[in-house]
Amino acid sequence: MTRTAIVTGGSRGIGREIVTRLAADGFAVVVGYAGNEELAAAAVREAEESGGRAIAVQADVAEEQAVAAMFDAAESAFGGVDVVAHAAGKMALSTVADLDLSVLDAVYRTNVRGTFAVAQQAARRMRDGGALITFSSSVVGLAFPTYAPYTASKGAVEALTMVLARELRGRDITVNTVAPGPTATDLFFEGKDQATVDRLAAQPPLERLGTPSDIAAATAFLAGPDGRWVNGQVLRANGGII
């Protein structure tokens, strides 16, 4: 039986690299995407070129019915769901003093409500022996100024991890969170000058930025047979920053 993975945020950045990696590892993959159909189609092609089967499904992760429909599509196309990698997210930067609370609401809608909506469907519908991988960020520990809205939302994701792992007792389903450090994606480079990029790249003892393939490898470990004894954990994939 072919195992099936849903990857939200699968059309770009880290999510897209996860799609390609899981397809190469033998998964049938559902590429969840928010709005860019062209990028999602390209992610499907890359997955197929890696030897896997894939489909793209548009879904706002904060919309309960849309998330349920994405799981419906996975079950219809591939027979069930074994792994969910929830990489979709939203970032906004502001000091607390200057924060527009409507911006906070938008961040929480995607990062907190969206994680709960995806985790809820995963808990209801993943086959026994499955794996749910959510995404936080190493900024939760680094506590950079202006990152409070994003950090607070990702702290909520981490708080969910062990609770849900315990709620799924008896089903052999693991629940873990990957918390990347600075990673070389288009989103990371946006708005940063070279001096800022160099400073962030110098922070880890390994003295470089992470790559999407680094994060995809950590995700694939948790999704695969070698990660079955890791449960309820936050994996800080950041080269040793903290």
Q: State the catalytic residues.
A: 150
* HEC letters along 112-175: HHHHHHHHHHHHHHCCCCCEEEEECCCHHHHCCCCCHHHHHHHHHHHHHHHHHHHHCCCCCCEE
38 CB-contact burial (10 Å; exposed 0-12 / middle 13-18 / buried 19+): exposed
Report d(CA 145, CA 143) in Å as an integer: 6
Sign of CA dihedral 179, 182, 186, 189: positive
Q: What are phi and psi of 59, to 5 degrees?
A: -160, 130
Q: Please say whether the beta carbons of 2 and 26 come within 8 A.
A: yes
Structure tokens at 238: 């950041």
Placement of tokens 């992760």 in the chain: 61
Structure tokens at 64: 């309960």
Q: Please say whether the beta carbons of 92 and 47 come within 8 A.
A: no
